[in-house]
Structure 1
């Protein structure tokens, strides 16, 4: 018992030991930076860069000192320190004389020691570094916190460099962890993904696909030079995207971007809603259109709430968002496949006419109503939260809020006009052609959603990524260069072929002009 008591006392004492003071953190960072300067002087630049990354990410950031300075001193001061770290990396990479590296290290050392004293004077501890509430920070009075940090890309690239170095030494697990931190903490966590997606969605898709490809290559044990080559491409793509963000096109660019987001994200939802509503009207179930409109309204509210929830989560918010997007996409694909097959079975005109003549079309079966509601809800919700975050990023990156809102209004009017035009045209299409093209449209949307869903799960790390020999990426069609996504889409195509065969076999044979082969039951529509 005495031994147990002593053991518990030691465990409690060790567990209760406070973390080192901020001055110790600053001293540890300085020691590592001195080693980086020594490596540079010994003509070992890669080792020097690795040590700078270790000092920043492994000590300054991991200890919470960066967060403490940003929150309790000033965001401006935190960005200045980030730039100092970046400056040391730049001079090491450029191969300047060792004295310059030493001077920059000494300047950063003095700065960190001064900030450590300030934090200790204020009595700031690790317990004070809880997740920040939404809204402006008291210490950030320069208004720049709402915008993307100019060093966000530099931090991301530093993570990638460190990942490449670790992989070159055979540390595959550590490399994957660093890659995930680069993606979730910096690309998504610091707002780069949303900012790039709001301005240039094609570039965002390409960068995401590159991350997934690199993760797949690392998991497959690809040669280090192959991984390094892909990281170099990613560095270039990131540089081009950041350069695009730094350019301002005036209010008209903000109007265009505001309109483009809602049109781009809402077009597919409009197509699906139009098909479902037109079906209900032509089938004599106009009263059921409220089900579709209601589902769309619920999806809009759910999208807003989801976006707010994701904004308030901790550093895992980005990964949660990818998981949610992937699961929602795959659920939408499954529901659309079901509804598409159901409509395909109605493409035979005689069977449809017999159904109308049976006078049982007064009400829909419960299962069919649920399927229509789910299809409408998922069509809107699948990217609704991301759309809200895109607008948040766009508004944060511009001072002309009215231009963005004007673009949103214009885009919404475009969607309303497009919706009305498509519905009017669909009502004039012959019944057989309507069901044929509607079922094809919904199945095509399921094909796209399946590919995008797998890609989102790959980005979250929930699904593996096996690169294909080709690197074709077509976001509009949901095509991405991984076998997991392609495999699911091939299964969908095979299922479509089987469904079509079943429908063709079930049609009346030529010469049978009497009663149709089967009359749909009350729950069939």
Structure 2
């Protein structure tokens, strides 16, 4: 049946509710097609659209809830599937080792390595400290346990281990290695004491709570990035890019499961591979987040945003934005997903009650979904300028943090040098570490962003809205 050219006339004295009339199946595709080609109509159509927008009744303001609702439910289902896979997969470790014994082993071997250290031939000492980190500290599960218990302490331990290896490789004096070891040793003892006082997870409820906390902690940051991108797409009317956004999220979840399996089987003996992959992902995500935050911030002053978007939708400004959105979402989720699966494996173990890990992960996914809805509802009510500014600032802060953490992971893997700066601040959770490499990379990122923001004012007097 052909699609009618226009709706039937509304009767003068209707006997039933006449609006909206029954919608033919073929008519449902028209609004989507119209959104993909907003500039095809004559100028009068654009004026009509502006009038409708000014009155707050434009279709573009009534449709935003459609693209995100179904993908959000799909995301929850995928997350539940990932949790079930983690529960059914072989456990990373059947029983938690005695971390006091692990720490004692590290301390005794480190003292012996320092006593035998010879600056003229430092390779043996450097290799021993690398083995102590990757072969003892990490492979025993102490690293994963400390991430759950105290992430700041773990990052500080990683920095000192990497510094010990680099100092030994350079053949620095024994006194400098001893000074670094004097910082590292009490941190290891603190970690062992912290893990030793943690209550055992015996019951299904305890395991479910621990699994939920892991998913909440690891997923909150990724949810914040994806939510900011999704709300931004809604506010700017770029509904066609939701496919790229949710495709990036789904691909990241699948890649996380594959990476977790590779870490627990194929790469079990390649300790530096995990830090290398993690550092590369962090730096790539930081690059995309910086680009996106700068683009959003530079457009916060544009008047009549909807008119600007309609004239630019088919131009280069949006030609690659779908790829950028999808890649940013992929990296934001992927960098947390593999660790989450490994943590769920470690918490579950071989003796975990059936369904405890999956139940806790599902509960956390529902809480993240509720936080998503609250964030989306709040952000949709904000005026455009405050919303753009807040979104850009959040993404920018996350990007700077990712730069510092990414460089640290490469330092631990031995791919970047470590030069300590005495007296420099150390805030691990914010990605700020007292090394010239991490602070230098973050300073370079800040400088590039400042130049990018000042360039339009220095060359052209600032951005003007497109005609």
TM-score computed with the length of structure 2 as normaliser = 0.72
Partner of 1:423: 376
Superposition deviation, residue 404 in structure 1: 4.5
Work out which of the residue numbers 387, 412, 427 in structure 1 matches 2:365.
412
Partner of 1:443: 396
SS in 2 for 1:472: coil
Aligned-pair CA distance for 1:469:
0.8
For the pair 1:385 / 2:334, whether they are aligned, the reply is: no
Q: Name the structure 2 match of 1:307.
A: 260
Q: Distance in 2 between matches of 1:229 and 1:398?
A: 43
- Aligned-partner SS, 1:519: coil
- Matches of 2:426 and 2:351 in 1, distance apart? 30
1:452 match:
405
What corresponds to 2:194 in structure 1? 244
Alpha-carbon deviations, 1:27-59, whole Å to 9, x = none? xxxxxxxxxxxxxxxxxxxxxxxxxxxxxxxxx
- What is the deviation of 1:410? 3.2
1:55-70 aligned at under 5 Å gives the runs: none
> 8 Å contact 1:203–1:241 — kept in the other structure?
yes
- 1:434 matches 2:434: no
How far apart in 2 are the matches of 1:461 and 1:397? 34
Range 165-174 or range 237-246, more displaced = 165-174
Conserved in 1, the CA contact under 8 Å of 2:208 and 2:358?
yes
**Which residue does the alignment assign to 2:450?**
497
Larger RCO: 1 or 2 (CA < 8 Å, sep 6+): 2
Partner of 2:105: 155
Cα distance in 2 for residues equivalent to 1:504 and 1:261: 45
- Count of aligned residue pairs for this structure pair: 375
Distance 1:473 1:373, change over 3 A: same
Equivalent position to 1:214, from 164, 181, 186: 164
1:263 equivalent in alignment to 2:212: no
**Structure 2 partner of 1:519:** 466
Q: Is the 8 A contact 2:119 2:172 kept in 1?
A: no
Between the aligned partners of 1:475 and 1:405, the Cα distance in structure 2 is 30
Please tell me whether the aligned partners of residues 311 and 317 of structure 1 are also in contact (alpha carbons under 8 angstroms): no
Q: Does 1:225 align with 2:175?
A: yes
Conservation of the 8 A alpha-carbon contact between 2:113 and 2:125: yes
The 3-state SS of whatever aligns with 1:408 is helix
Residues 400 and 431 of structure 2 are in contact (CA less than 8 Å); yes or no, is this contact kept in structure 1?
yes
Aligned partner of residue 282 in structure 1, secondary structure: helix
Structure 1 position 350 matched with structure 2 position 300: no
Q: Tell me how far 1:443 sits from its aligned partner.
A: 1.7
Q: Show the counterpart of 1:85.
A: none
Picking from 426, 430, 442, the partner of 1:473 is 426
Tell me how far 1:379 sits from its aligned partner.
Answer: 0.7
> Structure 2: how far apart are the matches of 1:245 and 1:398?
20
Once superposed, what is the RMSD of the aligned Cα atoms? Answer: 3.0
List runs of 5+ in structure 2 lacking aligned partners. 1-88
TM-score by length of structure 1 reads: 0.65
How far does the alpha carbon of each residue in 1:146-189 deviate from its partner, in whole angstroms, 9 at most, with x for none? Answer: 43266433332233123212325653222111111111111112
Aligned equivalents of 1:490 and 1:397: distance in 2? 46
Task: For residues 188-220 of structure 1, give each alpha carbon's deviation from its aligned partner in whole angstroms, at most 9, with x where no partner exists.
Answer: 122221122223323322221221232344355
Q: CA–CA distance in 2 between the matches of 1:136 and 1:429?
A: 46
Partner in structure 2 of residue 92 of structure 1: none
Q: What is the deviation of 1:225? A: 2.9
- Measured after TM superposition, the shift of residue 291 of structure 1 is 1.7
Partner of 1:112: none
Displacement of 1:428 in angstroms is 1.2
Structure 1: unaligned runs, 5 residues or longer:
1-133, 138-143, 510-515, 521-525
Deviation at 1:491, TM superposition (A): 0.3
Of structures 1 and 2, the larger Rg is shown by: 1
Mapped to 1, the partners of 2:379 and 2:316 lie a distance apart of: 22
